[in-house]
């Protein structure tokens, strides 16, 4: 009797989406990938239904455990990378804001949107979605427009 992973677990791969009357998607379910718990359930079910006269060899069992261990470690590494990336982005945002705050009261030379050079004193600093901005002579510029600081 041939059993697939889905039939052993009593589940099937499904992709479902619920669409609201305004056309926006509210819920999406994707069970097409086996998670850690599903993998263990599959392994237990596989052992439960194996033929007692021809049991699975030790090498096959160890190979499956090694695959599970590898899967678990890759999941941990991926989560760690996500955390590091998030922390680095937060650090970069903080450093940019600190740099902008250090310019308060300083005279800067910057390039405006048209490429013209502007000199003036930084009177305020704001935080925006695109990073910190500075106000020079009543006009707001991105921090990246600063070419030099004149002290």
In a domain, 57, yes or no: no
Per-residue pLDDT at 64: 78
Structural domain for 150, as ranges: 68-151
In a domain, 62, yes or no: no
pTM equals 0.51
In a domain, 124, yes or no: yes
For residue 108, which of 132, 127, 130, 134 has the smallest C-alpha distance?
Answer: 134
- Distance (Å, whole) CA 26 – CA 30: 14
Between helices 58-102 and 36-48, what is the axis angle to 10°? Answer: 180
Total domain count for the chain?
Answer: 1
Any idea what the CATH number is for the domain that residue 77 is in?
2.30.30
In a domain, 9, yes or no: no
In a domain, 75, yes or no: yes
Query: 15-64 pLDDT, tens per residue?
Result: 444 444 445 444 444 444 556 777 778 778 877 887 777 776 778 778 87
In a domain, 51, yes or no: no
In a domain, 116, yes or no: yes
For residue 112, which of 84, 134, 81 has the smallest C-alpha distance?
Answer: 134
Q: What is the DSSP secondary-structure string of 54-93? A: SPPPHHHHHHHHHHHHHHHHHHHHHHHHHHHHHHHHHHHH
């Amino acid at each position: 009797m041939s059993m697939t992973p889905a039939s052993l677990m009593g589940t099937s791969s499904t992709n479902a989406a619920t669409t609201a009357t305004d056309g926006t998607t509210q819920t999406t379910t994707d069970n097409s990938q086996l998670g850690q718990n599903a993998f263990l359930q599959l392994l237990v079910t596989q052992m439960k239904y194996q033929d007692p006269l021809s049991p699975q060899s030790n090498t096959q069992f160890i190979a499956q455990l090694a695959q599970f261990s590898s899967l678990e470690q890759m999941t941990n590494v991926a989560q760690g990378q996500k955390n590091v990336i998030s922390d680095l982005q937060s650090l970069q945002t903080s450093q940019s804001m600190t740099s902008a705050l250090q310019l308060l009261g300083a005279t800067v030379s910057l390039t405006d949107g048209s490429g013209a050079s502007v000199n003036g004193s930084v009177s305020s600093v704001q935080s925006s979605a695109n990073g910190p901005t500075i106000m020079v002579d009543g006009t707001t510029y991105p921090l990246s427009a600063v070419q030099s600081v004149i002290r």
